[in-house]
Structure 1
Amino acid sequence: MVFKKTMFLLLLQHMVLTFGHPSSGDYNHSLLTDKTALLEFRNTIVSDPNSVLTNWDEAVDVCNFTCVICDRRGHRVVKLSLNGTNIGGLLSPFISNLTGLRILRLSDNHLFGLIPSEFGFLRRLHKVWLNGNNLQGLIPETLSLLSHLTFINLSGNKLTGVIPASIFSNCTSLLFVDFSNNKLTGEIPPDVGHPPGIWCLNLFDNHLSGKLPVSLSNSSMLLALDVESNRLSGELPSEIVVKLPDLLYLHLSYNYMVSHDNNTNIEPFFTALTNCTDLVELELAGMGLGGILPGIIGQLATSLSTLHLESNRIFGSIPPNLANLSNLMLLNLSTNLLSGTIAGEIGQLENLEYLLLSNNSLTGTIPTKLGQITSMGLLDLSKNSLSGEIPASLGNITRLNYLFLDNNQLSGEIPRSIGQCKDLHKLDLSYNLLTGRIPQEISGLNEIRIFLNLSHNRLQGPLPIELSKLESVQEIDLSSNNLTGSIFPQLSNYVAVKLINLSHNSLQGQLPESLGELRNLESLDVSTNSLSGEIPITLNKCPSLTHLNLSFNDFNGSIPSGGIFNLVTNASFFGNPHLYSNALKEYFPLRKMKCSANRCRK
């Protein structure tokens, strides 16, 4: 089969060199032929919202067509650049009549259909961009006839089938190849490393299987290799990366690769990586890699800025010499089996912007020295077994946007210094053992736009009215604490809020009528408190409200009607012995519901 394909390609190449395109006539195409080809292409375009093809007309010199460039003598069209013009229509085979074309840019449009096999006649083509369209079908094997091709980008389409091996064996001038974000299957061609000068290979987000071809070890000029989100298998490619000293970007995440020694040893791979002395990004996430996080990780290139090792089965402690990676900006070790303490040396990574250590078994206290990383925007230490107090030094990280310390065993009071992190968008301290009052300084976090979650702690005291200044918050959850006092009417300041949960506290007084002003409120839960008075009828004016739980309080009077009150069930009001239902003509009993997974009953 391989012999037949090779003979076919050689025969087709002979036809191109000897006779030219079968329908094109003489080898020396005229500029008139180029113009005809472009006009035929225009006729297949059904959408041109930006009117870029308006002057593509018989009466206009083809060299003056928008997005068309001719050679210096004006004899041939050498460049067609319609990228990002939003044109839509069939990718026409008439383009193949532009046999003088050197650059073809049709990316980020709405072109559909197949990549024409006739493109194999564009034998002077050096660069082609077809990415970001709706192209389907196979990658034509005739593209391997483009012997001058240096740059090819077919990413972001719906291409299927295998990658033609002949593209890499015949197009030896290739420098850049991007077939990512398609639906390609089969194995990566064994000759993928044959072009000696290739420096970028992007094959991510496909359905490719098999092992990484050993021929990649011949690609000594390779700078970027991205094959993540495929179905590749085999051991981590130590024998390949050790021969790629100039490698800058290595993305292998979300495949089926394993570490050495039956997925128990990742040290040989990291040892091989120390030969990549300019490495910038390393991504090995989501593969279930097993083994101890080796100390040699601290000997990787100091140029390393991104390290993804999340969602594996890496165990042991975090080596303190990670601090040697002085240019690290992102460190993600979350969702592993790591144990031990967080070394204070991590605080020396002064360029770190994202630190994710969540969902491990880390113990001990949060290092005070983390407060030295003032450039950090995200700190996620959630879902561990960390204890002790939250360091006040975290307030020094004034650029912090996201702070997740939930699901630990942290104790003590919430440090007032957190109020200095005025750029926080999300703050989650839930499911800890925090005590004391909610500090008034949290009101300074007026950039909190997503959520504030202090639930499931041991916080006490009244709700600080200063919380009403968080006007942009979308979710606020203070449930399951020991909060007392009343709910302040200034809750109506939460103009963007979608969820309010104050349940399982000891709040008293009336529910403010001002809650009816919250136009975006979707969920309100104040159950299991000691609230009293009548239920505000204004709640029926909340157009987005779909969940309401007022159960187990001391509300009295009758349940209002209209709006949310016509949507919820009686379960929203149980445990209010003085609350009367006009519809049922009865009071609600002071007893809990028996609930299964799917329904509740008395």
Structure 2
Amino acid sequence: MKPSKIPHVAFLIFFHFIFLNYFHFPSSHCANLGSETDKFALLAFKSKVVDDPFGALSTWNDSVDFCQWHGVTCSLRHRRVVALDLRAQNLTGTISPFIANLTFLRLINLQQNKFYGKIPPETGRLFRLRSIRFSLNMLQGEIPANITHCSELRILDLVTNKLEGNIPSELGNLFKLVGLGLTGNNYTGSIPQSLSNLSFLQQLSLSENRLSGNIPSELGLLKQLNMFQVSANSLTGSIPIQLFNISSMDYFAVTENKLVGEIPHYVGFTLPNIRVLLLGSNRFTGEIPPSISNASKLEKLDFSDNLMAGSIPEDLGKLKNLIRLNFARNNLGTGKGNDLRFLDSLVNCTFLEVVSLSRNSLSGVLPNSIANFSSHLIYLYMSANRISGTIPTGVGNLKNLILIAMEVNLLTGSIPTSVGYLLKLQVLSLFGNKISGEIPSSLGNLIFLTEVDLQGNSIRGSIPSALGNCLQLQKLDLSDNNLSGTIPREVIGLSSFVLLDLSRNHLSGPIPLEVGRLKGIQQLDLSENKLSGEIPSSLASCVGLEYLNFSDNSFQGPIHSGFSSLKGLQDLDLSRNNFSGKIPMFLNTFRFLQKLNLSFNNLEGEVPSEGVFKNGRAVSIIGNNKLCGGSPELHLHSCRSRGSRKLWQHSTFKIVISAVLLPCLLSTCFIVFVFYQRRKRRRRSKALVNSSREDKYLKISYAELLKATEGFSSANLIGIGGYGYVYKGILGTEETNVAVKVLDLQQRGASKSFIAECEALRSIRHRNLVKIITSCSSIDTRGNEFKALVYEFMPNGSLENWLNQKEDEQNQRPKLNLMQRLSIAIDVANVLEYLHHHCHTSIVHCDLKPSNVLLDNEMVAHVGDFGLSRLLHDNSPDQTSTSRVRGSIGYVAPEYGALGEVSTHGDVYSFGILLLEMFTGKRPTDEMFEEGLSLHKYAKMGLPDQVAEIIDPAILEEALEIQAEIVTELQPNLRAKFHEIQVSILRVGILCSEELPRDRMKIQDAIMELQEAQKMRQAIKL
């Protein structure tokens, strides 16, 4: 039915009620009229569905009786719709308010669809309704307050939508409610105390929202509660003791909050029916309750990520149904060397699948009893403790093991050959122990193996070629051992590798040609070995490389031209070898290269001066005595051309002649020059004298710019600045896209801004600066003075436009993700570091803000608009100028307003504010910042515990989506990792924007911290 027909439906329904109230008809006629009302209501519902991929509503037409329509159930007596069940049909659309006309409806189930928009308030008129199941959709807005009129409601399931606001306290009036599910939304505020009125409530699910405050103790009155789930919120305080006394409790989850206190020692007695007890990622203290072993129905027990100490109960074996045991990341252990005795009892837990004890202080010898653990065991985490002894040979009995993580302990002995019997094993992590012996060749049997990390042990012998059978191996780290022999071609030829680290061993021989098969590898480290020969040309196929380290070997020959294909390199280290020849020019074209070490080789010739070579801090070339030229920061002597050498070495006669004639020639030129200058000055007008500083930029005419911008058309206007307007233009026969900044010379200071920008940009070059192409100082068609600057065009516009999109904008851009924001911030910081510390004369930008950060096709940031810039002529980064400066409100440093002092510290302040704006989504001029509150203070108050409340919601949503996609057992505690990244970034912004200049972070340190945050985010792999 089309939407235009809906008013007709309403009209019929209106007459339906009129007839029932004022006329007397036989009951059959009333039933027919009611049936027609239901039919029209269903068609109205269908009209709001915009996509039906499975054809679930295809039968909803006049050819089939509406009671036979898919998903519709009618009562036998009245033929009225009593149930609408369209779960998992992938329907897209909104929920029609005409659903309220299905007055006999008792159940509505729209789970697992794509309904969006708000829940119709009219739903509150369905007084017979007993079950609402809208979970796994995209519904928005708040729960309608009048839904409490549905007094017969037993189930309200709104799990995993986008609902927001506070949880209505009116829900406490739904006295017959048995199940309330609000998990996975955006609810804020506290848990309503009124929910304690729901005396029949059995299931309460409020996890994964943004709830705060304490858990109401009144909830302990819900004596029929068997599920209590409030995980992943920001709840504080302690767990009300009354909740631990509800004997019917089956599922209890409060993980990932900020709850404190001790768990009652008697909890195992008062929760006799508990099956799942999840208390991880809080701040609980005290010991693990010894009574826990009396909760004999327990299947999942999680106390991880807390501050619990002491010993682990030794009779956990009583928990015969236990499947998952997680005590990781606490302070468990007594220091007496007998902390592992409880493992013996776990042999009785025959359904055990996960044991996680990592990052505690457990000490003692690893008992042989682990070899008798349940054959169902999948994950065994015991890393970062003080566990000693050897790995039991019987570990091979655990046939279903997928992961063994025992890294950073005190384990000795060798890796048992029996590990090769674990045919399902995917991860073997034993790094940071004292393991010796050889790598068993039986590991080649493990065809599902994806990660082997044995770094930092004392393993000897050769690398078994049998590892080449592990065709899914992505990470192999054998660094820091005593391995010898050659690198097996079967191993280095595994195309599945993402990381291969064989560094700090005693490997010898050449690199096998099979290295070219590593097309997807990102990190390859063969440093500190005894490898020799030339680098094989096949390495050119490893186009995914980001980190490559061949340092401290005996490689020789030139740096192969095949390296030119490795354009994704970020870190390249070829130091301490015997490489010879010239440094390849293609290295200066690697736009991602941040660190290059070529030191202590036999390289010669001219050093490139572009790309990474422009940054002396990023390049090391010491120990190559035949190199010359390059960036001044490298402090090398200049290169003489071959022709010059021949002249001075073989043409003595010409030297003598030149010595005689040169002074005469110079004298003559000087006289001619003085005469010409005097004549030129007499002819030049006064206006030209005043504009002499601009002459070097007179390269383009007004007419050309007029044509390029289509007469400075408003359609080409892309920005308005403090001193003029910016137009998009197409310049010259090559049709180059440019941005033309036309100065409004009526504004005071515009001419000075023009000169300042020309002066600042004339001699600086950096990949993250907006490139000035030319300038124009001329007369327009009306005879008025005209000045303009022509820049490289940035197709993705300004950072300002990306950060502050209006919700009603059409063709709205996607929100910047975390990595994009980090990359942009690092780009901007690199510009400041270059301007402040690497220019011949230090430059202070003075007006750093989002509108002056422009983005190219690849979202690389470029800083522009140097109209307020200042040059610090003694090249001291701390020098100040007392000339008055103007900046942009909110971004300008406080000291500029007081004294007008210009310094590099002012730019650092602006960068800090810019960074905070990028990651909080709040402008420094937001209306909320009043009465002493500023963006700086707002961010500072959020660290470290309230980050989720101040971070840009788009970043928070991205983090949650990634966590949902990653198997958390393989990358545990992702939420904590994202939290650490966000805290690190905001901390940089806060330290850079301190009020006093002396308290601000150095820009070099800011870059390092942001790059560390970038690495942490890159380590989280989908």
Residue 157 of structure 2 is aligned with which of 80, 100, 105? 105
C-alpha deviation, 1:75, in angstroms:
5.6
User: Partner residue of 1:515?
Assistant: 563
SS in 2 for 1:408: coil
User: Partner residue of 1:315?
Assistant: 363
**Counterparts of 2:468 and 2:357, CA distance in 1:** 32
**Counterparts of 1:419 and 1:587, CA distance in 2:** 49
Bigger shift: 536-545 or 377-386? 536-545
CA contact (8 A) 2:547 2:571 kept: yes
CA contact (8 A) 1:393 1:417 kept: yes
SS in 2 for 1:274: helix
Confirm or deny that 1:563 pairs with 2:611: yes
Deviations 1:209-257 (A, max 9, x none): 1222335522222110000111112221111x23211110000112222
SS in 1 for 2:163: strand
Root-mean-square deviation (CA, aligned residues, Å) is 2.8
Deviations 1:358-414 (A, max 9, x none): 101111111111111111110011000111111111111121111000000111111
**Counterparts of 1:382 and 1:234, CA distance in 2:** 31
User: Partner residue of 1:133?
Assistant: 185
Deviations 1:413-437 (A, max 9, x none): 1111111111111100000111111
Confirm or deny that 1:490 pairs with 2:538: yes
User: Partner residue of 2:321?
Assistant: 278
SS in 2 for 1:388: coil
Residue 289 of structure 1 is aligned with which of 332, 340, 358? 332
**Counterparts of 1:160 and 1:102, CA distance in 2:** 26
Residue 236 of structure 1 is aligned with which of 278, 288, 298? 288
**Counterparts of 2:355 and 2:303, CA distance in 1:** 12
User: Partner residue of 1:586?
Assistant: 636
CA contact (8 A) 1:114 1:138 kept: yes
Residue 502 of structure 2 is aligned with which of 434, 449, 454? 454
**1:444–1:570: structure 2 CA closer, same or farther, 3 Å change rule?**
closer
SS in 1 for 2:93: coil
Bigger shift: 94-103 or 328-337? 94-103
User: Partner residue of 2:908?
Assistant: none
C-alpha deviation, 1:108, in angstroms:
1.8
User: Partner residue of 1:192?
Assistant: 243
CA contact (8 A) 2:609 2:631 kept: no
Confirm or deny that 1:532 pairs with 2:584: no
Instruction: Give TM-score, length-normalised by structure 1.
Output: 0.83
* One-letter amino acid of the counterpart of residue 475, structure 1: Q
Confirm or deny that 1:249 pairs with 2:300: yes
**Counterparts of 1:583 and 1:154, CA distance in 2:** 60
Question: How is 1:177-576 mapped onto 2 (pairs within 5 angstroms)?
Answer: 177-213=228-264, 214-215=266-267, 217-239=269-291, 241-259=292-310, 265-266=311-312, 269-271=313-315, 273-291=316-334, 292=338, 293-294=340-341, 296-325=344-373, 326-449=375-498, 451-569=499-617, 571-576=619-624
Unaligned runs of 5+ in 2: 1-33, 39-50, 52-89, 111-118, 639-1003, 1006-1022
**Counterparts of 1:58 and 1:197, CA distance in 2:** 37
Residue 93 of structure 2 is aligned with which of 44, 48, 52? 52
C-alpha deviation, 1:351, in angstroms:
1.2
**Counterparts of 1:58 and 1:290, CA distance in 2:** 60
Confirm or deny that 1:162 pairs with 2:210: no
C-alpha deviation, 1:99, in angstroms:
2.2
CA contact (8 A) 2:108 2:132 kept: no
User: Partner residue of 1:591?
Assistant: none
- Percent sequence identity over aligned pairs: 35
* One-letter amino acid of the counterpart of residue 270, structure 1: E
**Counterparts of 2:108 and 2:268, CA distance in 1:** 42
SS in 1 for 2:389: coil
**1:578–1:52: structure 2 CA closer, same or farther, 3 Å change rule?**
same
Structure (1/2) with the larger helix percentage: 2
SS in 1 for 2:538: helix
* One-letter amino acid of the counterpart of residue 366, structure 1: I
User: Partner residue of 2:926?
Assistant: none
**Counterparts of 2:567 and 2:517, CA distance in 1:** 17
**1:371–1:215: structure 2 CA closer, same or farther, 3 Å change rule?**
closer
**Counterparts of 1:370 and 1:510, CA distance in 2:** 44
User: Partner residue of 1:593?
Assistant: none
Residue 147 of structure 2 is aligned with which of 95, 110, 115? 95
* One-letter amino acid of the counterpart of residue 586, structure 1: L
SS in 2 for 1:242: helix
C-alpha deviation, 1:340, in angstroms:
1.5
Deviations 1:532-570 (A, max 9, x none): 111111223323222111111111111123322234448
**1:586–1:218: structure 2 CA closer, same or farther, 3 Å change rule?**
closer
C-alpha deviation, 1:300, in angstroms:
3.5
SS in 1 for 2:244: coil
SS in 1 for 2:452: strand
* One-letter amino acid of the counterpart of residue 545, structure 1: L
CA contact (8 A) 1:55 1:65 kept: no
Instruction: Give TM-score, length-normalised by structure 2.
Output: 0.50
C-alpha deviation, 1:199, in angstroms:
0.9
Deviations 1:265-312 (A, max 9, x none): 43xx131x1211111111111112114211524534121110011111
Deviations 1:41-92 (A, max 9, x none): xxxxxxx998532522489647598849999xx8622222332222222344
**Counterparts of 1:191 and 1:112, CA distance in 2:** 29
Deviations 1:306-350 (A, max 9, x none): 001111111111111111112211111111111121111112211
**Counterparts of 2:412 and 2:398, CA distance in 1:** 21
**1:192–1:586: structure 2 CA closer, same or farther, 3 Å change rule?**
closer
Deviations 1:123-171 (A, max 9, x none): 1211111111121111111101111211111001111111112212x22
Confirm or deny that 1:122 pairs with 2:174: yes
C-alpha deviation, 1:486, in angstroms:
0.8
**Counterparts of 2:413 and 2:244, CA distance in 1:** 48
Instruction: State the number of aligned residues.
Output: 534
**1:60–1:554: structure 2 CA closer, same or farther, 3 Å change rule?**
farther
* One-letter amino acid of the counterpart of residue 517, structure 2: K
**Counterparts of 1:277 and 1:216, CA distance in 2:** 14
User: Partner residue of 1:76?
Assistant: 128
SS in 1 for 2:131: strand
CA contact (8 A) 2:595 2:619 kept: no
**Counterparts of 1:177 and 1:153, CA distance in 2:** 6
* One-letter amino acid of the counterpart of residue 143, structure 1: L
**Counterparts of 2:455 and 2:149, CA distance in 1:** 63
Residue 171 of structure 1 is aligned with which of 211, 219, 222? 222
